[in-house]
Amino acid sequence: QRSLLGLKELSKEEIESILDRAAYWEQHPNKVHTAMQGKFAANMFFENSTRTRFSFEVAEKRLGAEVLNFSAAVSSVQKGESIYDTVRTLESMGIDAGVIRLKPIGVLAEIATKIKVPLINAGDGNNEHPTQALLDMYTMRKQFGNLNGLSVSVVGDVQHSRVARSNLWALQKFGAKVRFCAPANMQASDLDVPYVSIDEALKSDVVMMLRVQLERHETGMLNSAESYREQYGLTAERAAKLAEHAIIMHPAPINRNVEIDDELVEHPQSRIFPQMENGVPIRMAVVERALS
Ligand code: CP
């Protein structure tokens, strides 16, 4: 199976082999390789993206693949064409793999049963964002050497977060202790994970802050950015309580001074930009797996 639809169903060994292959690509930092020369990868984004979209493109180009970039905003989706018909169209033109981000939950799994080329999930609704979790785990493994026994607190808008779900399902396979911290109206009823206070969350090896996903909220979910920051934000005052070895993570984009204070984004304990850097070798490993 060369598709990557999620981490929930992927074995620990498969995940480990992707992390190891990413380490190989990180140690071979040529701008461009020839490993995937002559292969075509299509990036199909039906939802906005900066990091995922561009790091897939960088990864594909560094592997020497030919890259097709599809944007829903300037495509026949605007004339009413479905996601399936769009993917099937690109498949019929001979792509070798497709990277897809979309909003509706369940559609990717259904499309994958009808499409023969490998598909890579670049984020589907609030279900999974496997390459984000892989780069998060890669970042943690680089920092701590091992994921077993690591305490990871995921703080914020868990209900809408595909990042929280993919990280939870994958980190648990490695023996990491995952806990959530969220306001009552942003907790996920589908996940059986302990919720802790923000003070308790700060006692972890990894404090992963989540973006408040306003675009997925029903009206009135966030009363005020100020009160959210006061109750659940990683403020400079709270960050001062972190253990010296602890790291701060965030998948980004960031609402500065809402879920995390401006001055903490590039704090010595923050790994937010290294996470983005690690996204390239991770996506090289995932794209290579799909195209090989
Ligand atoms: N972390 C993440 O998925 O960012 P983008 O939405 O910019 O791709």
Q: Are residues 106 and 159 in the same domain?
A: no
Instruction: For residue 244, give every residue at least 6 positions away whose Cβ sits within 8 Å of its Cβ, in sequence order, or none.
Output: none
Residue 1 in any domain: the answer is no
Residue 52 among known ligand-binding residues:
yes
185: in domain: yes
- Give the chain's domain count: 2
Q: Is 252 in the pocket of ligand 1 (CB under 6 A)?
A: yes
Phi and psi torsions of 288, nearest 5°: -60, -45
Question: The domain containing residue 183 runs over which residues?
Answer: 132-271
Q: 220 and 286: one domain?
A: no
CA 197 to chain CA centroid, Å, is 24
Q: Does any ligand 1 atom lie closer than 6 A to the CB of residue 38?
A: no
Element (H, E) at 110: helix 107-114
Q: In the chain, count of helices (H) and strands (E)?
A: 10, 8
- The annotation status of 160 as a binding-site residue, yes or no, is no
Nearest alpha carbon, ligand 1 atom 4: 51
Q: Do residue 136 and residue 267 come from a single domain?
A: yes
Report if residue 147 sits inside a domain: yes
- Shortest-distance atom of ligand 1 to CA 251: 1
Residues 251 and 287 reside in one and the same domain: no
Tell me: do 122 and 144 sit in the same domain.
no
pTM more than 0.90: yes
Residue 51: CB within 6 Å of ligand 1?
A: yes
Tokens describing residue 70: 């599809």
Residue 250, annotated as binding a ligand: no
Which one-letter amino acid corresponds to residue 94? Answer: G
Distance CA 195, CA 174 (A): 20
Is the minimum distance from the CB of 251 to ligand 1 under 6 angstroms? Answer: yes
Amino acid at position 52, single letter: T
Give yes or no: residues 182 and 287 share one domain.
no
Ligand 1 proximity of 215 Cβ (cutoff 6 Å): no
Closest CA to ligand 1's atom 6: 49
Same domain, 137 and 257: yes
Are 97 and 182 in a shared domain?
A: no
The CATH number of residue 282's host domain is 3.40.50.1370
Residue 90 maps to a domain: yes
Q: Is residue 44 lining ligand 1, measured as CB closer than 6 Å?
A: no
**Are 120 and 158 members of one domain?**
no
Q: Do residues 73 and 87 both lie within one domain? A: yes
Could you tell me if residue 6 is inside a domain? no
The pLDDT profile of the chain, 292 residues, written as one tens digit per residue, is 699 999 999 999 999 999 999 999 999 988 999 999 999 999 999 999 999 999 999 999 999 999 999 989 999 999 999 999 999 999 999 999 999 999 999 999 999 999 999 999 999 999 999 999 999 999 999 999 999 999 999 999 999 999 999 999 999 999 999 999 999 999 999 999 999 999 999 999 999 999 988 776 666 667 788 999 999 999 999 999 999 999 999 999 999 999 999 999 999 999 999 999 999 999 999 999 999 9
